[in-house]
Structure 1
Amino acid sequence: MSPVAIALTGIGLLLILLALRIPVAFAMFLIGFVGIWALNGLDAAMGLLSSESFTLASNSELIVIPLFILMGNVASVTGMSRRLYEAAYAIVGQIRGGLAAATVIGCGGFAALSGSSVASALTMGKVSLSEMDRYDYDPRLSTGVVAAGGTLGILIPPSTGFVIYAILSEQSIGRLFLAGVIPGILLLSMFLLTIWVLCLLRPAMGPRGPSTSGSEKVQAVMNALPIIVLTLLTIGGIYGGLFSPVEAAGVGAGAVILAGFATRTLNFRQLWEASRDSIVTTASVMLILIAAHIFNPFLALSHIPDFVREVLISQNLGVIGTLIVILLIYMVLGAFLEGFAMLVLTLPIFVPIVSALGIDLIWFGVLVVLTLEMGLISPPVGINVFIVKSVAPKVPLGKIFVGVMPFWVAMLLTLAILIAFPQLSLFLPSQMMQ
């Protein structure tokens, strides 16, 4: 049996295990270990299992994952996310579709703290869905905007998706964070435009909310000031060169805890629960990363990346054509696989290909992460849709999927713009990290 045939068999078995709902990390551990055993012997497999686990777990850059997760969890339990939503609502809530627009803005702000799409959708869903229901918003718009708005968590830095991409592709976390800023703002703007168009075409979908006075707007913004300052401190510190991403994560986590205790919105029980949730999430992410470092050498030994590259190059698609084919593969996989699973499965195959074609890996990272976001709201898996369903159990699942489709189209248009204009992703990294 040839190495390529062994690799294809392993990938097929891995997909079967994932379909049987075997955890991603355990499935990749098993296939990677057995695959290396088959290709290079048991001693090589055992040696890699011990060395890679320790090497990755001792990587200091990975400290950003638990710290940013902790920062987002504490911000959620202290009510900072609700105050951010209330500030956005006070400013734009009185216009048609204003509550939906406020939800998107709130998701964007919370994403800048949590770095998690699931956390953004869950938190903002709890905060905003009841308000939109109270003002008779169409459930398709209200649930669709929460599910789509939550996807901003994986693009607007700090992003767990960018951290994992950086580790797997050996790129700079700081450069990827910078590269995600303009695309994140662009996507948020496209979501706001989508809401405006929907409410223009069907005004009943998003009725106007009550007007607020100037003093009420100012008060709402002042209430949200801690989360605004915290975002500027952490993200602005990275962009301004004051902190590395690791240092910014530590400063942000410490600052949000101190702010919570200072404002008496956080107690030790809540801090314990937030810390416990952060540890569980971090452990899941670390297991997936360690499993990826077992699975990736298996693919490298099988020469499957070379095989795929030769197949793509033989089609004479050109650089952009090959890039589009790769992104289409991500879109198809996104309808069935979880985002992190896609990253660890595909990057060992595609990174050598795009590198050989001269495609900037930072730009490619932004495109891949945005495509992963599309998978978060694509049927049949669409994890953000199921998260919203858990918050709004009375809304049929099919209606939620209908509601996210206009936002999925907005994401597709954003992806096309970023492909056409790479400098939207590369401008800040080139200017601020020489």
Structure 2
Amino acid sequence: MSDFAIGLGGLGAMFVLMILRMPVGMAMLAAGYFGTLILNGSRSANALLVTETFSATANYSLTVVPLFILMGNIASAAGFSRRLYEAAFAWVGWLRGGLASASIVGCAAFAAVSGSSVATAVTIGRVALPEMKRFGYSDALATGAVAAGGTLGFLIPPSTGFVIYAILTEESIGQLFMAGILPGLLLTACFMAAITLVTLVDPAAGPRGPGVPLPERFLALARALPLITVIIVSIGGIYLGVFTPVEAAGVGAGLVIIMAVAAGKLDRALAGKAVADTVRTTAMLYLIIIGASVLNPFLALTQLPATLGEAMMSAGLGPYGVLLLVVLAYLVLGMFMDGLAMLVVTIPIFFPIIIAVGFDPIWFGVIAVIVIEMGMITPPVGLNVFVVKSVARDVPMATIFRGVLPFWCAMAVCLLLIVLFPQIALVIPQAMFR
């Protein structure tokens, strides 16, 4: 059997293990270890397992992951996320579909401290869905807005997706964080435009909320100011070169803890739960990274990425034709796989191809993250849809999937704009690192 066939067999075995509900990280680790065992013997496989596991977990840059996760968990436990939603509600809730737009804005703001799409969807969903139900919003629009808004946690820095992409491709985490800012704001605006269109077609789907006097709007904004300050300090510090991403994560987590304790919002039980949730999430992410670190050398040994790259290049499709194939592959995989799993499995295969056709690696990081976001709301898996279902138990899955369709189209429009105008993603990192 050829090395290439062994590589394909290893990937097939990995997907079978995932279907059988083996954790993603373990499935990748098993495929990489046993594939290397078949190709090079037990000595090489054991050495790979030991060295790659140590080097992956000892990577200093990965420290950013648990720190930002802790920051988001503490902010949620202390109730700061509710203040973000209340501020957004005060400013845009009076518009038609305004509560859904407030959910999007709240998700965008909370994404800037959590770095997780699941945490963003759950946290804002618990606050926003009861309010939209109280004001008579359609279940489809309400749940669709929260499911789509949650995906912003994967794009707006500090994004876990960008951290893992940076580790896999050896790109700068700081540049990727900066590259996500304008696309994140653009996607937020596209989501709000989608809400406007939905409510123009069906005004009953998103009735106007109550008007809020201007002094009360500023009061709501002032109550959300502590968390907004943390966002500005941590992200602004990276942009100005005051902090590295890891230092910014540490400063942000420290500020949130201090504010929560000072406000009397953080007791021993809440702190323990936030830390335990952080440890569980971090362990899951580290296992995925370890699995990817063992799988990637195996794929390189089989020449699978190089062979696929040569096949795509020789097809004569041109750079954008190759990009279209990559995007289509992501959309198909998104129907069945979790976003992080897609990222760690596909980047070692697609990244060399994208670089070979001349695309910017930072720009492609943004493209990959947005397409993976689309997978988070694409049936039949649609991870964020299942997350929202856990909050809105009385809403059928079909209704939620119908509700996310306008937002999926909005993401496609955003993706097209970034492909046509790459500077949307590149202008800030280029200005920062020139």
Class of the TM-score when normalised by the shorter of the 2 chains: over 0.9
Deviation at 1:111, TM superposition (A): 0.2
Deviation at 1:251, TM superposition (A): 0.1
RMSD: 0.7
Alignment of 1:23-172 (within 5 A): 23-172=23-172
Match of 1:353 in 2: 353
Query: Residue 136 of structure 2 aligns to a residue in which SS?
Result: coil
Q: Which piece of structure 1 moves more, 413-422 or 266-275?
A: 266-275
Query: Residue 209 of structure 1 aligns to a residue in which SS?
Result: coil
Deviation at 1:94, TM superposition (A): 1.2
Q: Can you list the C-alpha shifts for 1:322-378, whole angstroms capped at 9, x where unaligned?
A: 011111101110110011111111111111111111111100100000000000000
Query: Residue 248 of structure 1 aligns to a residue in which SS?
Result: helix
Q: Residue type of the partner of 1:409?
A: C
Query: Residue 367 of structure 1 aligns to a residue in which SS?
Result: helix
Q: Distance in 1 between matches of 2:92 and 2:223?
A: 16
Deviation at 1:433, TM superposition (A): 1.3
Deviation at 1:268, TM superposition (A): 2.2
Unaligned runs of 5+ in 2: none
Match of 1:384 in 2: 384
Q: Distance in 1 between matches of 2:85 and 2:373?
A: 22
Match of 1:260 in 2: 260
Q: Distance in 1 between matches of 2:422 and 2:209?
A: 39
Q: Residue type of the partner of 2:265?
A: T
Give me the TM-score of the superposition, normalised by structure 2.
0.99
Alignment of 1:366-385 (within 5 A): 366-385=366-385
Q: Which piece of structure 1 moves more, 23-32 or 368-377?
A: 23-32
Q: Distance in 2 between matches of 1:56 and 1:251?
A: 24
Deviation at 1:26, TM superposition (A): 1.1
The answer on 1:417 being equivalent to 2:417 is: yes
The answer on 1:207 being equivalent to 2:207 is: yes
Deviation at 1:234, TM superposition (A): 0.7
Match of 1:306 in 2: 306
Q: Can you list the C-alpha shifts for 1:135-155, whole angstroms capped at 9, x where unaligned?
A: 000110000000000000000
Q: Distance in 2 between matches of 1:115 and 1:259?
A: 20
Q: Which piece of structure 1 moves more, 16-25 or 404-413?
A: 16-25
Match of 1:20 in 2: 20
Q: Distance in 2 between matches of 1:414 and 1:171?
A: 23
Match of 2:180 in 1: 180
Deviation at 1:185, TM superposition (A): 0.4
Q: How many residues align?
A: 434
Alignment of 1:312-323 (within 5 A): 312-323=312-323
Match of 1:273 in 2: 273
Deviation at 1:25, TM superposition (A): 1.0
Q: Residue type of the partner of 1:224?
A: A
Query: Residue 199 of structure 1 aligns to a residue in which SS?
Result: helix
Deviation at 1:19, TM superposition (A): 0.9
Query: Residue 224 of structure 1 aligns to a residue in which SS?
Result: helix
Q: Distance in 1 between matches of 2:268 and 2:92?
A: 35
Query: Residue 243 of structure 2 aligns to a residue in which SS?
Result: coil
Instruction: Give aligned-pair identity as a percent.
Output: 53
